[in-house]
Structure 1
Amino acid sequence: MDPPGITPIFLGLTSGRPAKVQRRMAWQAVAVAFGVIAVFGVVGQQILDYLHVSIPALMIAGGLLLLLIALDLLTGKNEEPTQTKDVNVALVPLGMPLLAGPGAIVSVILAVQHNHGVSGQISVWAAIVAMHVVLWLVMRFSLVIIRVIKEGGVVLVTRLAGMMLSALAVQQIINGITQVVQGT
Protein backbone atom coordinates (compact mmCIF):
# COMPACT_ATOMS: atom_id res chain seq x y z
CA MET A 1 0.00 0.00 0.00
CA ASP A 2 1.43 3.32 -1.11
CA PRO A 3 -0.31 6.46 0.21
CA PRO A 4 1.74 8.98 -1.83
CA GLY A 5 1.52 6.79 -4.92
CA ILE A 6 -2.26 6.53 -4.74
CA THR A 7 -2.69 10.32 -4.84
CA PRO A 8 -2.27 10.85 -8.60
CA ILE A 9 -4.31 7.74 -9.34
CA PHE A 10 -7.10 8.89 -7.00
CA LEU A 11 -7.07 12.35 -8.59
CA GLY A 12 -7.13 10.87 -12.08
CA LEU A 13 -9.99 8.49 -11.37
CA THR A 14 -12.14 11.00 -9.49
CA SER A 15 -11.55 14.17 -11.51
CA GLY A 16 -14.63 16.02 -12.65
CA ARG A 17 -16.72 14.93 -9.69
CA PRO A 18 -17.94 17.26 -6.94
CA ALA A 19 -15.69 17.47 -3.86
CA LYS A 20 -18.38 15.88 -1.68
CA VAL A 21 -18.53 12.85 -4.00
CA GLN A 22 -14.73 12.62 -4.07
CA ARG A 23 -14.57 12.64 -0.26
CA ARG A 24 -17.20 9.90 -0.14
CA MET A 25 -15.26 7.89 -2.70
CA ALA A 26 -12.10 8.18 -0.62
CA TRP A 27 -13.98 6.83 2.39
CA GLN A 28 -15.60 4.02 0.37
CA ALA A 29 -12.29 2.98 -1.19
CA VAL A 30 -10.57 2.78 2.19
CA ALA A 31 -13.51 0.91 3.74
CA VAL A 32 -13.50 -1.64 0.91
CA ALA A 33 -9.73 -2.03 1.12
CA PHE A 34 -9.88 -2.54 4.88
CA GLY A 35 -12.66 -5.10 4.52
CA VAL A 36 -10.73 -7.07 1.90
CA ILE A 37 -7.48 -6.92 3.89
CA ALA A 38 -9.26 -7.92 7.11
CA VAL A 39 -10.93 -10.93 5.46
CA PHE A 40 -7.65 -12.09 3.96
CA GLY A 41 -5.86 -11.44 7.24
CA VAL A 42 -8.25 -13.77 9.04
CA VAL A 43 -8.95 -16.49 6.45
CA GLY A 44 -6.79 -15.61 3.43
CA GLN A 45 -4.65 -18.72 3.30
CA GLN A 46 -7.72 -20.91 3.68
CA ILE A 47 -9.41 -19.09 0.78
CA LEU A 48 -6.37 -19.55 -1.45
CA ASP A 49 -6.02 -23.21 -0.44
CA TYR A 50 -9.72 -23.88 -1.07
CA LEU A 51 -9.50 -22.31 -4.53
CA HIS A 52 -6.17 -24.03 -5.24
CA VAL A 53 -4.61 -20.64 -6.01
CA SER A 54 -0.96 -20.02 -5.26
CA ILE A 55 0.38 -16.70 -4.07
CA PRO A 56 2.37 -16.23 -7.34
CA ALA A 57 -0.83 -16.83 -9.35
CA LEU A 58 -2.56 -14.16 -7.29
CA MET A 59 0.31 -11.78 -7.99
CA ILE A 60 0.19 -12.42 -11.77
CA ALA A 61 -3.60 -12.02 -11.92
CA GLY A 62 -3.43 -8.81 -9.92
CA GLY A 63 -0.70 -7.49 -12.20
CA LEU A 64 -2.80 -8.17 -15.29
CA LEU A 65 -5.79 -6.42 -13.75
CA LEU A 66 -3.67 -3.40 -12.80
CA LEU A 67 -2.27 -3.30 -16.34
CA LEU A 68 -5.78 -3.04 -17.78
CA ILE A 69 -6.59 -0.16 -15.42
CA ALA A 70 -3.29 1.54 -16.27
CA LEU A 71 -4.01 1.32 -19.99
CA ASP A 72 -7.38 3.01 -19.43
CA LEU A 73 -5.66 5.82 -17.51
CA LEU A 74 -3.03 6.22 -20.25
CA THR A 75 -5.54 6.34 -23.07
CA GLY A 76 -8.13 8.41 -21.24
CA LYS A 77 -10.87 5.81 -21.58
CA ASN A 78 -13.47 5.90 -18.83
CA GLU A 79 -16.40 3.77 -19.89
CA GLU A 80 -18.21 3.32 -16.60
CA PRO A 81 -22.01 3.25 -16.57
CA THR A 82 -23.39 6.58 -15.35
CA GLN A 83 -25.70 5.14 -12.71
CA THR A 84 -22.88 3.30 -10.88
CA LYS A 85 -20.00 5.62 -11.72
CA ASP A 86 -19.23 6.69 -8.13
CA VAL A 87 -19.55 3.24 -6.58
CA ASN A 88 -17.52 1.49 -9.27
CA VAL A 89 -14.53 3.81 -8.97
CA ALA A 90 -14.53 3.58 -5.19
CA LEU A 91 -14.84 -0.20 -5.17
CA VAL A 92 -12.95 -1.07 -8.34
CA PRO A 93 -10.21 -0.04 -9.02
CA LEU A 94 -9.55 2.13 -5.94
CA GLY A 95 -10.61 -0.17 -3.10
CA MET A 96 -9.62 -3.32 -4.92
CA PRO A 97 -7.02 -3.89 -6.50
CA LEU A 98 -5.20 -0.55 -6.07
CA LEU A 99 -5.39 -0.29 -2.29
CA ALA A 100 -6.07 -3.92 -1.39
CA GLY A 101 -4.10 -5.47 -4.19
CA PRO A 102 -2.34 -8.80 -4.43
CA GLY A 103 0.82 -7.43 -2.84
CA ALA A 104 -1.02 -6.12 0.20
CA ILE A 105 -3.10 -9.29 0.48
CA VAL A 106 -0.04 -11.52 0.33
CA SER A 107 1.80 -9.32 2.84
CA VAL A 108 -1.10 -9.47 5.29
CA ILE A 109 -1.47 -13.24 4.95
CA LEU A 110 2.25 -13.70 5.63
CA ALA A 111 2.36 -11.16 8.49
CA VAL A 112 -0.56 -12.80 10.27
CA GLN A 113 0.93 -16.28 9.77
CA HIS A 114 4.38 -15.29 11.07
CA ASN A 115 3.29 -13.29 14.12
CA HIS A 116 2.29 -15.70 16.82
CA GLY A 117 1.06 -14.57 20.18
CA VAL A 118 -1.20 -11.76 21.25
CA SER A 119 1.37 -8.95 21.03
CA GLY A 120 2.41 -9.95 17.51
CA GLN A 121 -1.19 -10.08 16.30
CA ILE A 122 -2.02 -6.75 17.96
CA SER A 123 0.98 -5.18 16.22
CA VAL A 124 -0.07 -6.51 12.81
CA TRP A 125 -3.69 -5.37 13.17
CA ALA A 126 -2.67 -1.97 14.57
CA ALA A 127 -0.44 -1.48 11.53
CA ILE A 128 -3.29 -2.46 9.21
CA VAL A 129 -5.65 0.05 10.83
CA ALA A 130 -2.99 2.81 10.87
CA MET A 131 -2.23 2.27 7.18
CA HIS A 132 -5.88 2.62 6.26
CA VAL A 133 -6.22 5.82 8.29
CA VAL A 134 -3.19 7.25 6.48
CA LEU A 135 -4.62 6.21 3.11
CA TRP A 136 -7.89 7.95 3.85
CA LEU A 137 -6.15 11.13 5.04
CA VAL A 138 -3.96 11.26 1.93
CA MET A 139 -6.88 10.79 -0.46
CA ARG A 140 -9.16 13.09 1.51
CA PHE A 141 -6.72 15.98 1.47
CA SER A 142 -5.40 15.35 -2.04
CA LEU A 143 -8.51 17.17 -3.25
CA VAL A 144 -6.74 20.45 -2.44
CA ILE A 145 -4.24 19.60 -5.19
CA ILE A 146 -7.01 19.73 -7.81
CA ARG A 147 -7.63 23.40 -7.02
CA VAL A 148 -3.97 24.16 -7.65
CA ILE A 149 -3.25 22.11 -10.79
CA LYS A 150 -6.60 22.70 -12.57
CA GLU A 151 -8.06 20.47 -15.32
CA GLY A 152 -4.96 20.37 -17.53
CA GLY A 153 -2.86 19.28 -14.60
CA VAL A 154 -5.33 16.53 -13.76
CA VAL A 155 -5.00 15.14 -17.30
CA LEU A 156 -1.21 15.22 -16.97
CA VAL A 157 -1.36 13.56 -13.54
CA THR A 158 -3.76 10.93 -14.91
CA ARG A 159 -1.38 10.01 -17.73
CA LEU A 160 1.55 9.95 -15.31
CA ALA A 161 -0.44 7.73 -12.95
CA GLY A 162 -1.23 5.39 -15.84
CA MET A 163 2.46 5.15 -16.69
CA MET A 164 3.48 4.46 -13.08
CA LEU A 165 0.65 1.98 -12.62
CA SER A 166 1.59 0.10 -15.79
CA ALA A 167 5.19 -0.22 -14.58
CA LEU A 168 3.92 -1.44 -11.21
CA ALA A 169 1.65 -3.96 -12.95
CA VAL A 170 4.45 -5.33 -15.11
CA GLN A 171 6.71 -5.63 -12.05
CA GLN A 172 3.96 -7.52 -10.22
CA ILE A 173 3.66 -9.95 -13.14
CA ILE A 174 7.45 -10.39 -13.24
CA ASN A 175 7.55 -11.05 -9.49
CA GLY A 176 4.81 -13.68 -9.78
CA ILE A 177 6.51 -15.39 -12.72
CA THR A 178 9.84 -15.32 -10.89
CA GLN A 179 8.26 -17.03 -7.88
CA VAL A 180 6.71 -19.68 -10.12
CA VAL A 181 10.03 -20.37 -11.86
CA GLN A 182 11.98 -20.49 -8.57
CA GLY A 183 9.37 -22.78 -7.04
CA THR A 184 9.78 -25.44 -9.73
Structure 2
Amino acid sequence: MVFDLSKLITVIFTLFAVIDIVGSIPILIGLKEKMGSIRSMQATFVSGIFMIVFLFVGKQFLSILSLDVHSFAVGGSIVIFLIGLEMVLGKEIFHSDTNAKSGTVVPIAFPIIAGSGTLTTIMSLKANYEDWYILAGILINLVVVYIVLKSLGSIERVLGEAGLTAIRKFFGVILLAIAVKIFSTNLSAFMK
Protein backbone atom coordinates (compact mmCIF):
# COMPACT_ATOMS: atom_id res chain seq x y z
CA MET A 1 0.00 0.00 0.00
CA VAL A 2 1.50 3.30 -1.13
CA PHE A 3 0.75 6.46 0.85
CA ASP A 4 -0.66 9.26 -1.28
CA LEU A 5 -0.68 12.62 0.51
CA SER A 6 -2.96 14.21 -2.09
CA LYS A 7 -5.65 11.58 -1.36
CA LEU A 8 -5.42 12.21 2.37
CA ILE A 9 -5.62 15.98 1.88
CA THR A 10 -8.66 15.59 -0.40
CA VAL A 11 -10.45 13.41 2.18
CA ILE A 12 -9.55 15.77 5.06
CA PHE A 13 -10.80 18.86 3.24
CA THR A 14 -13.91 17.12 1.90
CA LEU A 15 -14.93 16.09 5.42
CA PHE A 16 -13.93 19.49 6.82
CA ALA A 17 -16.16 21.23 4.28
CA VAL A 18 -19.12 18.89 4.87
CA ILE A 19 -18.86 18.87 8.66
CA ASP A 20 -18.61 22.65 8.33
CA ILE A 21 -17.70 23.17 11.97
CA VAL A 22 -16.60 26.74 11.20
CA GLY A 23 -19.90 27.51 9.45
CA SER A 24 -21.74 25.99 12.41
CA ILE A 25 -20.09 28.35 14.90
CA PRO A 26 -23.06 30.79 14.97
CA ILE A 27 -25.47 27.88 15.68
CA LEU A 28 -23.11 26.43 18.30
CA ILE A 29 -22.69 29.79 20.04
CA GLY A 30 -26.48 30.15 20.22
CA LEU A 31 -26.82 26.64 21.66
CA LYS A 32 -24.04 27.30 24.16
CA GLU A 33 -25.89 30.39 25.40
CA LYS A 34 -29.15 28.40 25.79
CA MET A 35 -27.53 25.33 27.37
CA GLY A 36 -25.00 27.16 29.53
CA SER A 37 -22.11 25.07 28.18
CA ILE A 38 -21.20 22.48 25.59
CA ARG A 39 -19.40 19.28 26.59
CA SER A 40 -16.74 19.44 23.90
CA MET A 41 -15.20 16.01 24.52
CA GLN A 42 -18.57 14.24 24.66
CA ALA A 43 -19.83 15.90 21.46
CA THR A 44 -16.56 15.06 19.65
CA PHE A 45 -16.51 11.45 20.88
CA VAL A 46 -20.14 10.70 20.02
CA SER A 47 -19.92 12.26 16.55
CA GLY A 48 -16.69 10.31 15.94
CA ILE A 49 -18.40 7.04 16.90
CA PHE A 50 -21.23 7.80 14.43
CA MET A 51 -18.76 8.47 11.61
CA ILE A 52 -16.43 5.52 12.28
CA VAL A 53 -19.29 3.02 12.70
CA PHE A 54 -20.83 4.24 9.45
CA LEU A 55 -17.44 3.96 7.71
CA PHE A 56 -17.10 0.26 8.60
CA VAL A 57 -20.71 -1.01 8.62
CA GLY A 58 -22.31 1.44 6.23
CA LYS A 59 -21.66 -0.90 3.30
CA GLN A 60 -23.43 -3.79 5.06
CA PHE A 61 -26.28 -1.45 5.87
CA LEU A 62 -26.52 -0.53 2.19
CA SER A 63 -26.50 -4.18 1.14
CA ILE A 64 -29.53 -4.81 3.36
CA LEU A 65 -31.25 -2.10 1.29
CA SER A 66 -29.93 -3.71 -1.96
CA LEU A 67 -27.74 -0.68 -2.78
CA ASP A 68 -24.09 -0.55 -3.80
CA VAL A 69 -21.44 2.01 -2.92
CA HIS A 70 -21.53 3.57 -6.42
CA SER A 71 -25.30 4.17 -6.20
CA PHE A 72 -24.91 5.66 -2.73
CA ALA A 73 -21.98 7.77 -3.94
CA VAL A 74 -24.03 9.23 -6.81
CA GLY A 75 -26.89 10.01 -4.41
CA GLY A 76 -24.40 11.31 -1.86
CA SER A 77 -22.72 13.55 -4.42
CA ILE A 78 -26.08 15.23 -5.03
CA VAL A 79 -26.46 15.85 -1.28
CA ILE A 80 -22.88 17.19 -1.12
CA PHE A 81 -23.63 19.43 -4.10
CA LEU A 82 -26.72 20.83 -2.36
CA ILE A 83 -24.74 21.43 0.86
CA GLY A 84 -22.09 23.30 -1.16
CA LEU A 85 -24.81 25.30 -2.91
CA GLU A 86 -26.34 26.15 0.46
CA MET A 87 -22.96 27.36 1.73
CA VAL A 88 -22.26 29.50 -1.35
CA LEU A 89 -25.73 31.02 -1.68
CA GLY A 90 -26.38 31.41 2.04
CA LYS A 91 -29.84 29.87 1.69
CA GLU A 92 -30.90 27.05 4.02
CA ILE A 93 -31.82 23.91 2.08
CA PHE A 94 -31.41 21.40 4.92
CA HIS A 95 -33.20 22.30 8.13
CA SER A 96 -31.46 21.04 11.28
CA ASP A 97 -33.02 20.53 14.69
CA THR A 98 -31.68 23.28 16.95
CA ASN A 99 -33.59 22.25 20.08
CA ALA A 100 -31.03 22.99 22.79
CA LYS A 101 -32.94 21.03 25.45
CA SER A 102 -31.76 17.76 23.88
CA GLY A 103 -28.20 18.49 25.02
CA THR A 104 -24.75 17.86 23.68
CA VAL A 105 -25.44 14.63 21.80
CA VAL A 106 -28.52 15.89 19.95
CA PRO A 107 -28.31 18.29 18.12
CA ILE A 108 -24.57 18.99 18.43
CA ALA A 109 -22.98 15.56 17.83
CA PHE A 110 -25.87 14.58 15.58
CA PRO A 111 -26.98 16.18 13.27
CA ILE A 112 -24.71 19.28 13.39
CA ILE A 113 -21.34 17.47 13.35
CA ALA A 114 -22.14 13.92 12.17
CA GLY A 115 -25.29 14.63 10.22
CA SER A 116 -26.70 12.98 7.15
CA GLY A 117 -24.41 15.02 4.88
CA THR A 118 -21.31 13.82 6.74
CA LEU A 119 -22.43 10.17 6.78
CA THR A 120 -23.37 10.35 3.10
CA THR A 121 -19.98 11.86 2.30
CA ILE A 122 -18.16 9.08 4.17
CA MET A 123 -19.96 6.49 2.05
CA SER A 124 -19.33 8.49 -1.12
CA LEU A 125 -15.62 8.71 -0.30
CA LYS A 126 -15.48 4.91 0.14
CA ALA A 127 -16.12 4.58 -3.59
CA ASN A 128 -12.91 6.48 -4.41
CA TYR A 129 -10.55 6.11 -1.41
CA GLU A 130 -9.26 3.35 0.88
CA ASP A 131 -10.81 3.10 4.36
CA TRP A 132 -7.65 4.14 6.17
CA TYR A 133 -7.52 7.49 4.30
CA ILE A 134 -11.12 8.13 5.38
CA LEU A 135 -10.44 7.02 8.97
CA ALA A 136 -7.41 9.33 9.16
CA GLY A 137 -9.52 12.16 7.69
CA ILE A 138 -12.24 11.55 10.29
CA LEU A 139 -9.75 11.55 13.18
CA ILE A 140 -8.00 14.72 12.00
CA ASN A 141 -11.36 16.46 11.58
CA LEU A 142 -12.42 15.33 15.07
CA VAL A 143 -9.35 17.09 16.50
CA VAL A 144 -10.42 20.27 14.65
CA VAL A 145 -14.02 19.85 15.89
CA TYR A 146 -12.81 19.51 19.48
CA ILE A 147 -10.57 22.59 19.22
CA VAL A 148 -13.41 24.65 17.71
CA LEU A 149 -15.90 23.53 20.36
CA LYS A 150 -13.44 24.37 23.15
CA SER A 151 -12.70 27.84 21.78
CA LEU A 152 -16.03 29.07 20.38
CA GLY A 153 -15.84 32.47 22.08
CA SER A 154 -12.29 33.22 20.93
CA ILE A 155 -13.00 32.16 17.33
CA GLU A 156 -16.08 34.36 17.15
CA ARG A 157 -14.10 37.40 18.32
CA VAL A 158 -11.17 36.80 15.95
CA LEU A 159 -13.06 36.04 12.70
CA GLY A 160 -16.10 38.23 13.08
CA GLU A 161 -19.24 37.75 11.02
CA ALA A 162 -17.58 38.72 7.71
CA GLY A 163 -14.72 36.25 8.23
CA LEU A 164 -17.08 33.37 9.01
CA THR A 165 -19.13 34.14 5.89
CA ALA A 166 -16.03 34.22 3.67
CA ILE A 167 -14.75 30.87 5.00
CA ARG A 168 -18.18 29.26 4.58
CA LYS A 169 -18.43 30.41 0.93
CA PHE A 170 -14.88 29.29 0.15
CA PHE A 171 -15.52 25.75 1.41
CA GLY A 172 -18.88 25.75 -0.38
CA VAL A 173 -17.14 26.19 -3.74
CA ILE A 174 -14.68 23.39 -2.88
CA LEU A 175 -17.62 21.12 -1.99
CA LEU A 176 -19.35 21.85 -5.31
CA ALA A 177 -16.21 20.81 -7.20
CA ILE A 178 -15.77 17.65 -5.11
CA ALA A 179 -19.44 16.72 -5.62
CA VAL A 180 -19.07 17.00 -9.40
CA LYS A 181 -15.94 14.79 -9.28
CA ILE A 182 -17.62 12.09 -7.14
CA PHE A 183 -20.73 12.19 -9.34
CA SER A 184 -18.83 11.85 -12.63
CA THR A 185 -16.47 9.14 -11.32
CA ASN A 186 -19.27 6.94 -10.00
CA LEU A 187 -21.72 7.61 -12.81
CA SER A 188 -19.14 6.23 -15.24
CA ALA A 189 -19.26 2.94 -13.27
CA PHE A 190 -22.85 2.50 -14.45
CA MET A 191 -21.87 3.09 -18.08
CA LYS A 192 -19.51 0.08 -18.16
TM-score normalized by the length of structure 1:
0.66
**Which structure's relative contact order is higher, taking Cα pairs within 8 Å and 6+ residues apart?**
1
C-alpha displacement at 1:53, in angstroms? 0.7
Q: Residue deviations 1:75-104, cap 9 Å, x none?
A: 212454543698456424631433662234
Higher percent of residues as helix: 1
Corresponding position of 2:43: 28
Taking only the aligned residue pairs, the percentage that are identical comes to: 19
Q: Matches of 2:91 and 2:40 in 1, distance apart?
A: 20
Amino acid corresponding to residue 25 of structure 2 in structure 1: T
Name which of 173, 176, 192 aligns with 1:163.
173
Q: Matches of 2:73 and 2:14 in 1, distance apart?
A: 22
Change (3 A) 1:24 1:105: farther
User: Which ranges in structure 1 are unaligned for 5 or more consecutive residues?
Assistant: 112-123
Name which of 116, 134, 144 aligns with 1:138.
144
Conserved 8 A contact 1:63-1:169? yes
Conserved 8 A contact 1:37-1:105? no
TM-score normalized by the length of structure 2:
0.64
The alignment's C-alpha RMSD in Å is: 3.7
User: Which ranges in structure 2 are unaligned for 5 or more consecutive residues?
Assistant: 1-10
Corresponding position of 1:76: 90
Corresponding position of 2:66: 52
Amino acid corresponding to residue 35 of structure 1 in structure 2: F
Give runs of aligned pairs for residues 1-184 of structure 1, distance below 5 A.
Answer: 1-2=11-12, 6=16, 9-15=20-26, 17-18=28-29, 21=32, 24=39, 28=43, 31-41=46-56, 43-78=57-92, 79-80=95-96, 82-83=98-99, 87-88=106-107, 90-92=109-111, 94-96=113-115, 97-98=117-118, 101-106=122-127, 111=131, 128=135, 132-142=138-148, 143=152, 144-181=154-191, 184=192
Conserved 8 A contact 1:26-1:139? no
